[in-house]
């Protein structure tokens, strides 16, 4: 017993020494990436248990259509009301669909082409959000199964992040209204990023704040733009079929109708699946 105790102590000491060594990420055979699921060479049961827990994966949630019910009609109405106030032509339906998931400033400048002046952009973006909040009325409701799923992740101590192109004040008020303030380790709002979807900036920034590699992050969204952004960031994506049929979200790694259809085992299996990166094509001589 004494010999085994000495061996376990020695192994734990060597493990800590290894963690302090500089890592050569260019040579995968020498060192596995940080937050790897497991390390079979470890025979210390305590260290092994830590690696096989849930702290090595991250859940990154979108807000509307994933955790709470979405209101796409109110979003469209707020854009139409803003166009009327500004004396602009009402945006057609295909443009309204195109700007879904974008920051307000990004949509106004790049898609609607109403202005590129930073002062005017900020004013119109703020006014559009005011119109939306007035139409929305401050009433938020969990999607079926979302609260239960968040509670499961909290129980298993899975780090969680919330990302949205809504202003931080609106997000904080909404989280307080449904009683989940303090649940998320990180909240990324419109003020924190320059661009919304399909740019992966929101998800990459959330991973950086949580200090996790992208391969261990699972994004939960409800559109193909989210799937595209997550995969561009080398993250996994679970699509929630809240406003699109399941077959339209086939590009996601998993598709569910409700979040409580998922289990912790599903997330572990998904996060432990290595993404196969296509080999670069040889350049013609």
DSSP one-letter string for 177-205:
HHT-TT--SEEE-GGG-S--TTSTHHHHH
In angstroms, how far is CA 263 from the centroid of its own chain? 18
Query: In the prediction, which pLDDT does 182 show?
Result: 87
pLDDT digits (tens, 9 = 90+) for 248-280: 999 999 999 999 999 998 998 888 766 555 556
pLDDT confidence band for 162 (50 / 70 / 90)? very high
Q: How many CB atoms lie within 10 A of CB 41?
A: 8
Is 60 exceeded by the pLDDT of residue 27?
A: no
45-70 in b/e form (b: 16+ CB < 10 A) is eebeeeeeebebbbbbbbbbbbbbeb
In which residue are the tokens 């703020």 written?
126
Average pLDDT score over the chain: 83
Interval 147-176 mean pLDDT? 93
Cβ 265 vs Cβ 254: under 8 Å: no
pLDDT confidence band for 163 (50 / 70 / 90)? very high
Is 90 exceeded by the pLDDT of residue 240?
A: yes
Percent of the chain residues past pLDDT 90, beyond the cut: 61
Cβ 63 vs Cβ 162: under 8 Å: yes
Query: In the prediction, which pLDDT does 22 show?
Result: 43
Query: In the prediction, which pLDDT does 279 show?
Result: 55
d(CA 223, CA 14): 46
Is 80 exceeded by the pLDDT of residue 213?
A: yes
Percent of the chain residues past pLDDT 70, beyond the cut: 76
Residue 146: which of 65, 54, 247 has the closest Cα? 65
CA dihedral of 246, 252, 255, 259, whole degrees rounded to 10: -130
Query: In the prediction, which pLDDT does 139 show?
Result: 86
241-269 in b/e form (b: 16+ CB < 10 A) is bbeeeeeebeebbbbbeebbebeeeebbe
Is 60 exceeded by the pLDDT of residue 36?
A: no
d(CA 255, CA 261): 10
pLDDT confidence band for 15 (50 / 70 / 90)? very low
Q: What are phi and psi of 188, to 5 degrees?
A: -105, 120
269 to 62, 148, 218, 254: CA distances (angstroms): 21, 20, 11, 11
Is pTM beyond 0.85? Reply is: no
Is 90 exceeded by the pLDDT of residue 169?
A: yes
Is 60 exceeded by the pLDDT of residue 224?
A: yes
Is 90 exceeded by the pLDDT of residue 208?
A: yes
Cβ 271 vs Cβ 162: under 8 Å: no
pLDDT confidence band for 34 (50 / 70 / 90)? very low
d(CA 117, CA 121): 6
Cβ 64 vs Cβ 71: under 8 Å: yes
């Amino acid at each position: 017993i004494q010999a085994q105790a000495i061996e376990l102590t020695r192994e734990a000491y060597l493990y800590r020494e290894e963690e302090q060594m500089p890592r050569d990420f260019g040579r995968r055979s020498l060192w596995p990436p940080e937050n790897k699921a497991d390390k079979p060479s470890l025979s210390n049961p305590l260290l092994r248990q830590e690696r096989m827990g849930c702290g090595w994966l991250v859940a990154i949630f979108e807000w509307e259509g994933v955790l709470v019910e979405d209101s796409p009609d109110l979003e469209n109405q707020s854009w139409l009301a803003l166009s009327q106030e500004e004396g602009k032509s009402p945006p057609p339906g295909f443009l309204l669909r195109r700007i879904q998931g974008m920051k307000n400033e990004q949509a106004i400048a790049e898609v609607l082409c109403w202005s590129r002046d930073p002062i005017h952009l900020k004013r119109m973006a703020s006014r559009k959000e005011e119109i939306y909040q007035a139409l929305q009325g401050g009433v938020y409701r969990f999607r079926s199964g979302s609260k239960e799923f968040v509670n499961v992740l909290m129980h298993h101590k899975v780090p969680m992040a919330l990302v949205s192109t809504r202003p931080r004040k609106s997000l904080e008020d909404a989280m307080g209204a449904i009683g989940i303030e303090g649940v998320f380790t990180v909240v990324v709002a419109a003020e924190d990023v320059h661009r919304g979807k399909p740019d992966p900036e929101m998800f990459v920034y959330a991973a950086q704040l949580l200090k996790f590699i992208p391969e261990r992050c699972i994004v939960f969204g409800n559109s193909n733009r989210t799937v595209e952004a997550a995969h561009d960031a080398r993250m996994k994506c679970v699509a929630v079929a809240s406003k699109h049929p399941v077959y339209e979200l086939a590009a996601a790694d998993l598709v569910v109708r409700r979040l409580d259809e998922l289990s912790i085992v599903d997330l572990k299996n998904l996060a432990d699946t290595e993404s196969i990166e296509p080999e670069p094509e040889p350049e013609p001589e």
